[in-house]
């Protein structure tokens, strides 16, 4: 049995002091990942001496929306994310990703920060957050640092967070001009729907031309990675002339280039191709180029 002392911090300052003063501290937010690992007596948790509960820290629960920028506190739950009107109206693929996470109970407990820090290849929020070119704000007693979310991920279940740091918030710029986004997901079954595959697509259009494209699959590669090759292919083309099926196949090929042929490739190749096709078709339809 893993033996540890449970500590609860009520403010970020308290949590940061504990992280600075003590060794072998494991943060717990909603606990939907950590408690599973503790229950399994995961080897990764054998070394912990303290479980630091940050779930009561109010200052980490804020969603701030400015004119061009969004800040999501690390303790914002998936339920709060999906109920947020601004996101539903302006960043709907984030709402769609949050809506499909687990079950109501998981969405009520699970947090944005936990999803990002756990860095599971199947973490659903990563795809839209990567497509939005988000940054994470990490805080320690020494100060704050911002990291691009792409630079924050070190590998599957690994990030560049230091032992004395807390993820304070995730920030991103609201896309400017005419933009469209879409999220697609396939899970094993509806009730507790951990992604078999998901995909987020965001594009900015100017006079019908794709100025910016971000296609990011989830659970397709060892850790969430933007498919820059597809983005480069799409950018500069007329949205009306994009063939979603062909782009879908290219995305599937890009996945296999990263992963190599694996036991899951016969399933994932056509599945990812279809998800990308659907995302692009939805965006074309929404933009009025489906004819």
Ligand X SMILES: Cc1cc2nc3c(=O)[nH]c(=O)nc-3n(C[C@H](O)[C@H](O)[C@H](O)COP(=O)(O)OP(=O)(O)OC[C@H]3O[C@@H](n4cnc5c(N)ncnc54)[C@H](O)[C@@H]3O)c2cc1C
Site of interaction with ligand X (CB under 6 A): 26-34, 36, 54, 74, 101-102, 106, 109-111, 113-115, 117-118, 123-124, 161, 166-167, 192-195
CB of 237 to ligand X, least distance (A): 32
Can you state the angle between helices 265-287 and 244-259, rounded to 10 degrees?
140
Give whichever of 17 and 211 is closer to ligand X, judged by the CB atom. Answer: 17
Give the residue closest to ligand X by C-beta.
114
CB of 82 to ligand X, least distance (A): 12
Residues paired with 64 in a beta bridge: 71
Give whichever of 74 and 95 is closer to ligand X, judged by the CB atom. Answer: 74
Give whichever of 9 and 204 is closer to ligand X, judged by the CB atom. Answer: 9
Distance CA 41, CA 110 (A): 20
CB of 166 to ligand X, least distance (A): 4
Give whichever of 78 and 249 is closer to ligand X, judged by the CB atom. Answer: 78
CB of 31 to ligand X, least distance (A): 5
CB neighbours (10 Å) of residue 185?
23
CB of 110 to ligand X, least distance (A): 3
Distance CA 284, CA 129 (A): 21
Give whichever of 108 and 265 is closer to ligand X, judged by the CB atom. Answer: 108
Concatenate the DSSP letters of all residues of 224-289 into one string: ----HHHHHHHTTSBGGG--HHHHHHHHHHHHHHHH-S-TTHHHHHHHHHHHHHHHHHHHHHHHT-
């Amino acid at each position: 049995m893993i033996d540890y002392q449970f500590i609860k911090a009520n403010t970020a300052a308290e949590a940061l002091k504990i992280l600075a003063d003590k060794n072998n501290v494991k943060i717990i937010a909603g606990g939907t990942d950590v408690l599973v690992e503790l229950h399994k007596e995961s080897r990764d948790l054998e070394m912990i001496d303290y479980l630091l509960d940050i779930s009561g820290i109010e200052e980490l629960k804020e969603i701030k929306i400015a004119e061009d920028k969004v800040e999501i506190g690390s303790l914002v739950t998936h339920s709060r994310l999906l109920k947020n009107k601004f996101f539903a109206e302006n960043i709907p693929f984030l709402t769609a990703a949050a809506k499909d996470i687990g079950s109501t109970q998981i969405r009520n407990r699970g947090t944005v920060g936990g999803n990002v820090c756990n860095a599971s290849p199947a973490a659903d929020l990563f795809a839209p957050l990567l497509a939005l070119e988000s940054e994470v704000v990490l805080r320690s007693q020494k100060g704050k640092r911002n990291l691009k979310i792409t630079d924050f991920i070190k590998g599957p279940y690994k990030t560049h967070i230091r032992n004395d740091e807390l993820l304070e918030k995730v920030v991103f710029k609201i896309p400017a001009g005419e933009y469209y986004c879409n999220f697609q997901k396939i899970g094993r079954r509806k009730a507790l729907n951990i992604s078999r595959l998901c995909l987020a697509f965001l594009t900015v259009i100017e006079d019908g031309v794709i100025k910016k494209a971000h296609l990011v699959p989830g659970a397709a590669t060892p850790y969430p990675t933007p498919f820059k090759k597809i983005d480069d292919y799409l950018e500069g083309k007329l949205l009306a002339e994009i063939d979603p099926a062909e782009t879908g196949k290219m995305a599937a090929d890009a996945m296999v280039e990263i992963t190599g042929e694996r036991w899951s490739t016969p399933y994932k190749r056509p599945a990812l191709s279809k998800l990308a096709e659907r995302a692009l078709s939805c965006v074309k339809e929404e933009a009025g180029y489906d004819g």
